[in-house]
Structure 1
């Protein structure tokens, strides 16, 4: 359980709205350790709620625990004595004890579905017959993304059409992640390494430096992150070996389907079902260049922690097992450089001089721009390079001039648009002089001092 609760205000507001509109049926889902249970705990604090967590066990054990806890909560000894192997009987019975203002939470619901899929139709019948008429709020939560999407949210599910809201809980934004840390500069580097998963940030905040975090939690076989990907993939996938190989290929810099297939040793046409499944489960994402109609996208690992794991633990597995793995400054700067590019995409809506309605990375053949953002209506575009290094004045000017040359390949409204050019660096010399030249220049200190921006999703929209 995550002890520190950070932000999630938008999700809390949604839950509160559903509570006011009861009867309501909310499906909350997201990957493991993302903070679903902690969010529910925060929301139900001070409210009359029955909270049950399904154990990853047999149906018999699940039902025994449910009856025991329900009997205690409702102060009704009959529930524990009820002889039935039907979830409908239990749900229907407790619904008679519920009323306006009551909340029932079924956490880790995916474990129940995995054990006995009939619970879906049993819950549907109970909701239709009695729960929806009681004025209560029902929340079901699950961590197995594939199962939750296919069995709970899909149009083929018995529960389809019953939910009043579904919430996919995602990683915290970097500016909220910083609230875990006293040293905000270390916090932003930790975010670039492990991303916005609350429990990962909690672990990172226990350390005083990036070196200490990496040495103790990645490069040690007893470290928190050392076996983490194995647990995540094994839970979602029956045969994770091929999926693991594909992730390793992407982490090594192979981003096209053909390049990934060649790395893994598989025919390109056979790689697509694996890529699609990894995308559905949130492990990877397919990107296309901003404002370009492109069928052939590139594939990237979504989570910072997974990228870091493949570059630290996976590559150094033998050394770690022998206890001789060591921290390498050059290697870390390379990993942080990738994370810095992803960080830039989060901050562009705040750093941009105009309102952004689409943003992303851009490339054409061998020409690449780290981040670009546009306002379609105003025909404005910002091009930005992210450099995890200390830049001198002349070096920064050189990067901007090169960026201008690359931007000429960006076809959207070419010749009819207003252009802005910028740099985000770890540190910039003579920043004021660059700003006076009309460039947008920012460094790590600027990000740390920024007020909390409003949340904006990274959009990779098709051009209009």
Structure 2
């Protein structure tokens, strides 16, 4: 490149889907092209709107398929059954393309895969704090950080801290498909292997709604980032003052620091939600946060499949209510 090609009009374009390989052999210090690249372009997944358009399905189904397949074009291309429940039955089959996909994804990127599998399984089953992951895997807390850092760099997991309180950080599986794979395919693998999916499908249908609800929160957070003017968007959790170990959680908290504006939000994967009831709960939980408490301007935002009645104001605070269809407008 230095001796000849750089002096011509040649454009060298390198593409690859194995992230660790691209970083090590192309981008990292010591690689032949280190310091010579003109542009890094990370190909993003489909947005929720693009998932709906690609599959030609309803808003609700688009969220469900996004929750499981994470906007990956290859995965969406394999969707033949547009009924989500029938799709679940087909995916929970040892002959399905997706049955070993989680394992293959990790094998491409990682060595010592058994340790990483164990860590991801721990997180998928709700062990999100360092101490919980350590107890589940049997790995000392101080030795687990390098594994978590690798998984985070690859985009498999995400370290999440509350807007106020860095010490309460947790780890979540960022990749929707991997999260689904560990929560449902790996969890019920022994049944799937002997073609006994009929014995667990009821449990899957009961658990999947909660799973989709959590991914719906991600969709709502993205909507706030794109459609509201705030500096920081995240969520908040912690102990309720004066209530011992009792905790609270707010799905969305956003700040406009220089204007002392704060937005509190709730996301409900339900029909006919009461906006007034949720605003009352938000008002209570927002009182636990001391950030410019007497000076700040507060706003509420509520997301749901649908509302029994939308409201625009609650106790002097501006309220934004968004139904599922609004997220696709």
Q: Which of the numbers 223, 247, 265 marks the counterpart of 1:347? A: 223
Deviation at 1:436, TM superposition (A): 5.5
SS in 2 for 1:220: coil
Q: 1:268 to 1:436 in 2, by over 3 A?
A: closer
| Equivalent-residue separation in structure 1 for 2:267 and 2:152 (angstroms) | 26
Cα-to-partner distance string for 1:354-413 (whole Å, 9 max, x where unaligned): x122211222232211112222233222111111122443xx422221111111233433
Cα-to-partner distance string for 1:184-217 (whole Å, 9 max, x where unaligned): 322222112221211122223x222110211112
TM-score when normalising by structure 1? 0.64
State the match for 1:193 in structure 2.
Answer: 68
State the match for 2:125 in structure 1.
Answer: 252
Residues 364 and 409, structure 1, Cα contact 8 Å, conserved in 2: no
2:187 paired with 1:315: yes
Deviation at 1:350, TM superposition (A): 4.6
Deviation at 1:248, TM superposition (A): 0.6
Q: Which of the numbers 307, 322, 328 marks the counterpart of 1:442? A: 322
SS in 2 for 1:386: strand
| Equivalent-residue separation in structure 1 for 2:287 and 2:29 (angstroms) | 46
Q: Which of the numbers 150, 153, 156 marks the counterpart of 1:277? A: 150
SS in 2 for 1:141: coil
State the match for 1:144 in structure 2.
Answer: 18
2:8 paired with 1:129: no
Deviation at 1:131, TM superposition (A): 0.6
| Equivalent-residue separation in structure 1 for 2:70 and 2:293 (angstroms) | 35
Cα-to-partner distance string for 1:277-297 (whole Å, 9 max, x where unaligned): 11111111111112x361552
| Equivalent-residue separation in structure 1 for 2:273 and 2:264 (angstroms) | 20
SS in 2 for 1:429: strand
| Equivalent-residue separation in structure 1 for 2:76 and 2:169 (angstroms) | 31
State the match for 2:173 in structure 1.
Answer: 301
| Equivalent-residue separation in structure 1 for 2:70 and 2:290 (angstroms) | 33
State the match for 1:405 in structure 2.
Answer: 284
Q: How does 1:144-163 map to 2 (within 5 A)?
A: 144-163=18-37
Structure 2: runs of 5 or more not aligned: 240-246
SS in 2 for 1:319: helix
2:241 paired with 1:369: no
| Equivalent-residue separation in structure 2 for 1:150 and 1:410 (angstroms) | 43
Cα-to-partner distance string for 1:257-291 (whole Å, 9 max, x where unaligned): 1111111122111111111111111111111112x
SS in 2 for 1:320: helix
Cα-to-partner distance string for 1:279-330 (whole Å, 9 max, x where unaligned): 111111111112x361552111011111111221111111111222143332
Residues 180 and 187, structure 1, Cα contact 8 Å, conserved in 2: no
Q: In the comparison of the two structures, how many residue pairs are matched?
A: 314
| Equivalent-residue separation in structure 2 for 1:420 and 1:183 (angstroms) | 33
Residues 151 and 157, structure 1, Cα contact 8 Å, conserved in 2: yes
Q: How does 1:57-456 map to 2 (within 5 A)?
A: 127-185=1-59, 186-204=61-79, 206-217=80-91, 219-290=92-163, 292=164, 294-295=166-167, 297-326=169-198, 327-328=201-202, 329-350=205-226, 352=228, 355-365=229-239, 366-393=247-274, 396-431=275-310, 434-435=311-312, 437=314, 438-448=318-328, 450=329
| Equivalent-residue separation in structure 1 for 2:21 and 2:130 (angstroms) | 26
Residues 173 and 346, structure 1, Cα contact 8 Å, conserved in 2: no
| Equivalent-residue separation in structure 2 for 1:135 and 1:444 (angstroms) | 49
SS in 2 for 1:231: helix
Rg (Cα) greater in structure: 1
